[in-house]
Amino acid sequence: MSSLRQLRHQNVFLFLLLFAVKTAIAQPVSDGKQPLRLFLIGNSFSQNATRYLPELSKEGGHELVIGRAELGGSSLQRHWEHAEAAEMNPDDPKGKPYGGKSLKMLLSDGVWDVVTIQQASILSGDVETYRPYARKLYEYIKRLQPKATVVFHQTWAYRSDSKDFSQIAKGDSARSAQEMWEKSRAAYHTIASELGIAIIPNGDAFWRMNEKAKWAYHSDNSFTINQARPPALPDQTHSLNMGYRWDKDKLAFDSHHANDAGCYLGALVWYGFLFDESPVKLTFCPDGVDRKFATQLKKTAWSVVRQEKKEEASKLVSAGQ
């Protein structure tokens, strides 16, 4: 075959590959004709991220059914060990931690279109904590639900003024929110590539907001914690995490979990990912979330989802060359 003919064949192959990739990336997880059945294997972070997803889905005209296997603080390892216990002995209480049910029982309840997994945030920066449990869970899910799309839910970094951050290696933790985001992002993408699954980029969306000076949370250095008296609180404008609050006469601090704005951002990202549809047009906004801030959250969510899908397309093209 001549060099010219070889070049033409290569160009045709690349064109077809690019067309296939663009088509695949553009396809929503839901076809919009039947209810999307979404099953979450996670913890409080998956609860946070989907708190407002039903409201957004309803407004967008998408019927959604959500199933859950969630345990507070649960890691990939813990979920797998519960599933393994149930397989070894269906009557073992260890295998039925989800309200007296096993993961197998919950996953076997009908047909699920999408099943998500995630790492516990405190371990999210250490890629070794994902192995071999992410793959074991993935294979277990596919055995029970062979047609389901398995997806990684990328968790977010803690607030910048957190007193702790995720593990990034055995005996070592991140020193900042940025390092936690960078390490956890790398870990999620590494394992996602190994499994061949997509990512719901919540962690990226949270961090993107932190990169925008106008919309980022800034710690209130004028607030003296040890001198605080109820109901005084620091300025927590634009925080996506719970932060400071009064629990009776005790000043509590939660730099990990999402507040209303963070839960809203999470749901916007999930909406954009699941339906391949911009959430910017949606009008639902939780009480207590500033409308201008909400507009920025919507724009950021869609921008991050589109960027993630472009990166996935680029990887597919590179793999085909």
Has residue 250 been placed in a domain?
no
Q: What would the pLDDT profile of 15-70 be if each residue is shown by its tens digit?
A: 344 444 444 444 456 556 789 999 999 999 999 999 999 999 999 999 999 999 99
Has residue 204 been placed in a domain?
yes
Q: What does the block give as tokens for 99?
A: 């309200």
Has residue 286 been placed in a domain?
yes
Q: Distances in Å between the alpha carbon of 45 and those of 70, 102, 220, 266? A: 9, 20, 25, 9
Strand ranges inside the chain, DSSP E: 36-42, 64-70, 114-117, 149-153, 167-169, 172-173, 198-200, 241-247, 250-258
Has residue 299 been placed in a domain?
yes
Has residue 223 been placed in a domain?
no
Q: What would the pLDDT profile of 223-236 be if each residue is shown by its tens digit?
A: 999 999 999 999 99
Q: What would the pLDDT profile of 116-157 be if each residue is shown by its tens digit?
A: 999 999 999 999 999 999 999 999 999 999 999 999 999 999
Among candidate residues 212, 178, 203, 207, the one with its CA nearest the CA of residue 296: 212
Q: Is the pLDDT of residue 276 over 60?
A: yes
Least confident of 80-84, 179-183, 184-188, 310-314: 310-314
Q: Distances in Å between the alpha carbon of 156 and those of 46, 73, 244? A: 11, 14, 18
Q: What CATH number is attached to the domain comprising 310? A: 3.40.50.1110
The reported pLDDT for the residue numbered 84 is 99
Q: Which secondary structure element, helix H or strand E, spans residue 291, and what is its range? A: helix 291-320
What's this model's pTM, rounded to 2 decimal places? Answer: 0.90
Domains of the chain: total: 1
Q: What would the pLDDT profile of 279-312 be if each residue is shown by its tens digit?
A: 999 999 999 999 999 999 999 999 999 999 998 8
Has residue 267 been placed in a domain?
yes
Has residue 235 been placed in a domain?
no
CB 234 within 8 A of CB 223: yes
Q: Is the pLDDT of residue 319 over 70?
A: no
Q: What would the pLDDT profile of 74-116 be if each residue is shown by its tens digit?
A: 999 999 999 999 999 999 999 999 999 999 999 999 999 999 9
| DSSP H helical ranges for 175-241 | 177-195, 202-211
Owning domain of residue 146: 33-214+261-320
Q: Is the pLDDT of residue 5 over 60?
A: no
pLDDT band at 318 (very low <50, low <70, confident <90, very high): low
Mean pLDDT score of the chain, rounded to an integer? 92
Has residue 110 been placed in a domain?
yes
Q: What does the block give as tokens for 194?
A: 């190994």
